[in-house]
Structure 1
Amino acid sequence: MHRIALFLPNWIGDVVMATPAIRAVRAAFPVAELVAVCKPYVADVLAGAPWFARTILADKRGPRSQRLFGVARQLRDAHVDATLLFPNSFRTALIAYLGGSKRIVGFARYARGRMLTDKLYAKTDERGRFVPSPALDDYNRLAAALGATPDHRMELFTTPADDASADAVWQQFGLARYARVVALNPGAAFGAAKHWGCDHFAELARALTSRFKCGVIVLCGPGEREMARKIAEESRSPHVFSLGDAALSLGLTKALVKRADLLVTTDSGPRHFAAAFNRPVVSLFGPTHIEWTETYFAKEICLQKKLACGPCQQRVCPLGHHRCMRELTPAEVFRAAEQLLTRVPLATREVPRAA
């Protein structure tokens, strides 16, 4: 095959979970040109990666070139031999079909089976209901159907600009003077149901700085600046710093996670950054099944309260009590963080430490 298009997942964390499959396709077809097709907001997840020769942006609300027929036209002009569909939507299969791909590999869902040349089927129980199973494994199944041999190792890269931005943050807050730096990620694009309270994060940050004499950096996205500032303020510690006033980017978040000694995070995209950079991570789960996003990462501790009402998979708690996250205490999270910080060696960073 001369040219292979890969439609990337629509969530940041899922793009990371697809990296073993992407890398395997690259290895299986070393002379083929790989084309990434993705939403604009996930494109930077794979910035710096050596796998793709070209990226086609796809957004039904974007300019004409990014809409259905515009993307299909670009694929047709590129003479794509095969297409691998990570998303399960009808729309992605239609774009690949209209794009003239000779071979289309995907899961037969949402009435799109007739457009696929290679149909895969999700795991279901005896009643036909979907069984929670790792998305990473499903992505690998797609790559295997194309002829690749994937593993479970997720992988990301940073660009020189990303690392320079992280250097600036490191210098701004004097983080080189700390033997350890812990990153906290309180955000969750999925919805409020995944949030762990600012007061909980603040208490955790205070305990970490007291026990380990470490620096703590609170990460955030553009819509989470106030949350990050609040956590730093409520920690009442001079060793806790917020990115709330920084020039934010996905690349900066990647670069900061890459050099942290530990990440404590909600079930969101940066959780997978940690595994991709081989950094220890404590992941806080509430309304979502851990099984959907299992990554087989040995340096991860997943915490979740087992309640009769969950996991509900809802963006907002339908019962209004949010117990699955509220009852996950800072003390429990601290114990998990302590376990990883005392078990895993310090990160090797590309920045100087204070003497």
Structure 2
Amino acid sequence: MNRIALFLPNWIGDVVMATPAVRAVRTAFPAAELVAVCKPYVADVLAGAPWFAHTVLADKRGPKAQRLFAAARRLRELGTDAAVLFPNSFRTALLARLGGAKRIVGFARYARGFLLTDKLHAKTDARGRFVPSPALDDYNRLAVALGAADPGHRMELFTTPADDSSAAEVWERFGLGRYPRVVALNPGAAFGAAKHWGCDHFAELARSLTARLGCGVLVLCGPGEREMARQIAEQSRSPHVHSLADAKLSLGLTKAVVKRADLLVTTDSGPRHFAAAFNRPVVALFGPTHIEWTETHFAKEICLQKKLACGPCQQRVCPLGHHRCMRELAPAAVFEAAERLLTRLTLPVWEGVPRAA
């Protein structure tokens, strides 16, 4: 095959979970050019990666036919021999077919089976109901179906020189090099309010990390989460807690900051997977979502979840209004998990990142 189109997932964390499969396809077909087909907002997740020769940005916003046919025309110009569909939507299969792919590998869901040449099926129980299983493993199954070897579970990301320079400026601005350990906190969650842990909880955790362990703390945020990051830093009442609220934000900066940090404490959101991809310890806070769907088999991760009769409900907003699954996840328990990771692991020092003596 001369050219293979990989239709990337639509969520930031899922793109990271697809990296073992992408790497395996790259290894299995060294002479082929890989084409990334993705939404514009996830393209920067793989910035700096050596895998792709071309990127096609496909988005259904705006006139649907124009967006669809423009992307299909670009794929036909490139001449794709095969397509691997990580998303399960009908639209991705249609785009692959209109784009001229001779072989299309994907899961037969949402009535798109007739568009596929290689059909895979999701795991179900005896009654035909979907069984929670790691998306990472499903992505790997797609790569194997194309002809790659078992990709394994090691996720991988890259940063650009500009990303690393931006992170270095953050370290310099807040004097983070003077701390023996720097902990990054990620309070945001694009999925919905049900995943939020609460500014008061994050502030209490940040205060404990600085007072009891001497850590520097940096609160991450996306463009719509600046006020949340400010509140956490202010409510911590600690001069050692800083936020990115006033920084020039980008996905690349978030990646580079996580790569430098000694630990990430995060909601179940995209940056959680950045930590594993850069081999950084992570405490992940789960509420309404099944851990099984996003299991990554990362040895340096501790997942915490309050088990309740009403969950995991997989809802964006708590349907009962109490949000107990996150509210009752105590900061003391999260601090204990963070301390365990910080004290049991010997972490590498990233080149160019000063550490206190």
Please report the TM-score for the alignment, with normalisation by the length of structure 2. 0.98
- Give the drift of 1:62: 5.0
Contact 1:176 1:353 in 2 (8 A): yes
Partner SS, residue 203 of structure 1? helix
Contact 1:35 1:55 in 2 (8 A): yes
The answer for unaligned runs of 5 or more in structure 2 is: none
Partner SS, residue 224 of structure 2? helix
Distance in 2 (CA, whole Å) between partners of 1:215 and 1:332 is: 19
Q: Deviations over 1:132-156 (max 9, x none)?
A: 0000000000000000011110000
The within-5 A match list for 1:1-355 is 1-61=1-61, 67-149=67-149, 150-349=151-350, 350-355=352-357
Distance in 2 (CA, whole Å) between partners of 1:181 and 1:66 is: 47
Distance in 1 (CA, whole Å) between partners of 2:293 and 2:29 is: 29
1:67–1:188 CA distance, 2 compared to 1 (3 A): same
Distance in 2 (CA, whole Å) between partners of 1:25 and 1:250 is: 25
One-letter identity of the residue aligned with 1:121: H
Distance in 2 (CA, whole Å) between partners of 1:229 and 1:248 is: 14
- Give the drift of 1:65: 9.8
- Give the drift of 1:347: 3.9
Distance in 2 (CA, whole Å) between partners of 1:325 and 1:305 is: 7
State the 4+ residue runs in structure 1 displaced beyond 4 angstroms. Answer: 62-66
Partner SS, residue 67 of structure 1? helix
- Give the drift of 1:292: 0.1
Contact 1:59 1:66 in 2 (8 A): no
Distance in 2 (CA, whole Å) between partners of 1:160 and 1:62 is: 34
Q: Deviations over 1:81-133 (max 9, x none)?
A: 00000000000000001111000000000000000000000000111110000
The more displaced of 54-63 and 36-45 is 54-63
Q: Deviations over 1:326-349 (max 9, x none)?
A: 000000000000100001113412
Q: Deviations over 1:23-62 (max 9, x none)?
A: 0000000010000000000000000000000100001115
Distance in 2 (CA, whole Å) between partners of 1:65 and 1:128 is: 34
- Give the drift of 1:354: 3.9
Give me the identity figure in percent: 84
Distance in 2 (CA, whole Å) between partners of 1:86 and 1:124 is: 18
- Give the drift of 1:353: 2.7
Distance in 2 (CA, whole Å) between partners of 1:230 and 1:339 is: 27
1:273–1:66 CA distance, 2 compared to 1 (3 A): farther
Partner SS, residue 127 of structure 1? coil
Distance in 2 (CA, whole Å) between partners of 1:353 and 1:27 is: 37
Contact 1:260 1:347 in 2 (8 A): no
- Give the drift of 1:66: 7.4
Distance in 1 (CA, whole Å) between partners of 2:66 and 2:153 is: 31
The answer for unaligned runs of 5 or more in structure 1 is: none
- Give the drift of 1:351: 1.8
Distance in 1 (CA, whole Å) between partners of 2:173 and 2:356 is: 14
Distance in 1 (CA, whole Å) between partners of 2:65 and 2:115 is: 22
- Give the drift of 1:290: 0.1
- Give the drift of 1:8: 0.2
Residues paired across the two proteins, number:
355
One-letter identity of the residue aligned with 2:212: R
Distance in 1 (CA, whole Å) between partners of 2:349 and 2:185 is: 19
Partner SS, residue 101 of structure 1? coil
